Amino acid sequence: MSNTRRRLPDSELEIMMIIWEAKEPVTSAYVSEKLKDKKQWKITSILTFLARLAEKGFITSKREGKNNVYAAVISEQEYLENEGKTFLEKLYGNSLTSFVASLYKVNAINDEDLTELQQFIDKTTKGD
């Protein structure tokens, strides 16, 4: 992911998550429908967020008939990987050990999670 693409504000990230979940281009009406039980945003707000996402290079906007159709340019995986890297660098000095230790200390993860992490490390380092 390009360094020009920064962390998204929560409102824009929420819309991106809807687009990623759809796995196909969507309309503003689709986004609005998905948000109706979660947010009381007017369609004008949703259109503003979609325009910002397009300006930032996260989505494309294409006219199809009377509607604009929006598609992700950045994959969810690509965004999450960049966010995870940035988070680890900023808050934990790039130390995964410090991050895991802090999660363990506040009971956000348990021994079973640590075992799963160890299995992932073992599998990854063996090249399986």
How confident is the model over 13-32, as pLDDT tens digits?
A: 999 999 999 999 999 999 99
- Residues of the chain above pLDDT 90, percent: 71
What CATH number labels 10-72?
A: 1.10.10.10
For residue 47, give the nearest of 82, 83, 11 by alpha carbon.
Answer: 11
- CA-based R_g, the chain, Å: 19
* Model confidence, pTM: 0.74
Decide yes or no: CATH 2.40.50 for domain 76-126: no
User: What are the residue ranges spanned by the domains of the chain?
Assistant: 10-72, 76-126
